[in-house]
Amino acid sequence: MESRKRLTAEKRGRGTGKGAIPAASVLAAAFGAGVQLAVFGRIGQSGGVFYTSPCLVYMGIYVLTAFCLPRAAAAAVSGRVRRGQADPGALLAGSLALAAVAGGAGAALLGFGGEMLAAWPGRPMERYAWEALAPAVWLMALLGAMRGHFLGLGGSAPAAVSMILEQAAGGAAALWFAGDGLREGSRSALVYGAEELEGALGAAGAMAGPAVGAGAGLLFLLGMTVLWRKNLLRRTSGRKASPARQVMPLLLAGIPGLFMAAAWAGALALQIKWYGTASGNRWGEFGFWCLAVYLLAAVSAAAGVPAASRLSGRRPGVREGLVRALRRLPIPCILGAVLLAAGGRMAFGLLFDGAQASGPVWLGAVWGCAVPAASLGAVLTAALGGFGKRGISAAACLLCAALHGGLLRLFAAAWPGAPAGAAAAVFLALLALCGLEGGLLALMTAGGERRTR
């Protein structure tokens, strides 16, 4: 009898809440990072300098619209529809309207402010890549709203397929457009005598690919909405709030995700300020290392993140469930760290036709240490999201972004332009994030039967 009770508690601890992250979604993110590395190889080091900043911003927006905002929206949609407080169709229309406004604002910032963003680090031709990214921001915001609606009503499979389709179509388009951009840039460089034009237009062509991918994912979910309209757009019984009050929970649910995006943008801005203006190809090399960490961390966390996202603080056995999710990390994390530490510089040479990465030989080891930290941070963040503590996770991200900026300033003063300083700042900030979130989760699950409100 005792063992049956324990087994029942463990099953409940796994959770069945809406918005759980499928493993396919995490692997799709890893595939996207791999595609971006292939793009780096396509446009070369000269184009990578112009591509790094927009690419890292794109990857941040992708995480926001693929994981953070959809999970938050799913919880709001699921709860209000289950209680009969809102119709699914009204919630979908409201979330798309909010996404259109927010995404339009972001697209306008990049489209009209691309010249200013490019002038800040002293790379005027980078504006072409920023402007090419603008349409993707708007489409990705709409796609994130659609994913949240599907997740909230139990459609995790279509949401995962849309992520895979987004990365596959976007990656193919990026590689194709990058080639067109390089050819056009080569011709223009002969006419205008600007050697950097080839790399700049190659980066701009590659940055047009995400819009194609987001459009493909959006069309797929719109088609699934038509097929499943009886479930996704049905009218529910019960007294409904006004349209504004129906949409308000979606707006509030998205605020923590926006703070996480602000933390990411702030960390990147400080990175550009104290390291992105370095001479030569070092900024492009930083983009390569970041994407390599992103790829290996996503693969390492592909088993742990889904398990952690299914946990719920309102169910017994959450501490045991969290421990099981964390136990899935050590082996893939160690393999990823060793792979990057031992083979990172070799991979760089293969990607860039035998070029040698700058920095000391042990630089790959520093970036390799960031792989377990990033994987652990992803699992802990997913667990906090399952507990409904996204605001706490966002606050932890903001604190670690501030720490990252302070470390960058310290290392930049001690070793100006040193690649190892940038790598160490990223690793220590990720380590601090793991410590903060891990400590919070330890307190929240103390006793194994913690109930959150």
Return the biggest CA–CA distance within the chain: 83
**372-384: string of b/e by CB count within 10 Å (b at 16+)?**
bbbbbbbbbbbbb
Task: Identify whether the C-beta of residue 59 lies closer than 8 Å to the C-beta of residue 36.
Answer: yes
User: What is the pLDDT at residue 229?
Assistant: 73
Distance (Å, rounded) from C-alpha 276 to C-alpha 259?
23
The DSSP output letter for 278 is -
Q: pLDDT value at position 6?
A: 41
CB neighbour list of residue 325: distance below 8 Å, 6 or more residues apart: 304, 305, 307, 308, 311, 379, 383
Instruction: Please state the pTM of the whole predicted model.
Output: 0.87
List per-residue pLDDT tens for the chain, 453 residues long: 444 444 343 333 333 345 578 888 888 999 999 999 999 999 988 888 899 999 999 998 998 888 888 887 777 777 666 666 666 777 788 888 888 998 999 999 999 998 898 888 888 889 999 999 999 999 999 999 889 888 877 778 888 899 999 999 999 999 999 988 888 877 776 666 566 788 888 999 999 999 999 999 999 999 988 887 776 666 555 555 555 666 677 777 778 888 888 888 888 888 887 777 755 577 888 889 999 999 999 999 999 998 888 887 656 678 888 889 899 999 999 999 999 999 989 999 888 887 888 777 888 899 999 999 999 999 999 888 888 788 888 889 889 988 988 888 888 777 766 778 888 999 999 999 999 999 999 888 875 444 444
pLDDT of the residue at 14: 39
Helix (H, G, I), strand (E, B) or coil at 369: helix
By C-alpha distance, which of 254, 226, 33 is closest to 148?
254
pLDDT at position 84 is 62
Burial 18-29 (b: 16+ CB within 10 A, else e): bbbbbebbbbbb
Asked if 317 contacts 262 with a C-beta cutoff of 8 angstroms, the reply is no
Number of CB atoms found within 10 A of residue 158's CB: 21
Distances (CA, A) of 179 to 143, 205, 353: 27, 8, 17
The three state secondary structure string of 155-206 is CHHHHHHHHHHHHHHHHHHHHHHHHHHHHHHHHHHHHHCCCHHHHHHHHHHH
Burial class (CB in 10 A: 0-12, 13-18, 19+), 356: exposed
Residue whose pair of structure tokens reads 């112009």 in the numeric block: 50
Q: How far is CA 397 from CA 148, 197, 253, 335, 426, in A?
A: 22, 37, 17, 26, 13
Q: What is the pLDDT of residue 451?
A: 45
**What's the pLDDT at 217?**
94
Q: Which of 357, 365, 366 is nearest to 428 (CA)?
A: 366
Cβ(77)–Cβ(246) under 8 Å? no
**How many CB atoms lie under 10 A from the CB of residue 189?**
17
DSSP H or E stretch at residue 366:
helix 363-386
> How many CB atoms neighbour CB 273 within 10 A?
15
Check residue 334 and give its pLDDT: 94
Q: What angle do CA 90, 79, 308 make, to 5 degrees?
A: 125
Helix ranges, 193-234 (H): 196-207, 209-227, 229-232
Report phi then psi at 54, rounded to 5: -60, -35
Q: Which residue has the tokens 């799913």?
A: 74
The candidate with the shortest Cα–Cα distance to 35, out of 221, 404, 291, is 291
- From residue 253, alpha-carbon distances to 76, 360, 411 in Å are 7, 44, 37
Q: What is the pLDDT of residue 388?
A: 79
Judge residue 367's burial from the number of C-beta atoms within 10 Å of its C-beta, 0-12 exposed, 13-18 middle, 19 or more buried. buried
In order, the DSSP letters of 394-425 are HHHHHHHHHHHHHHHHHHHHHSTT-HHHHHHH
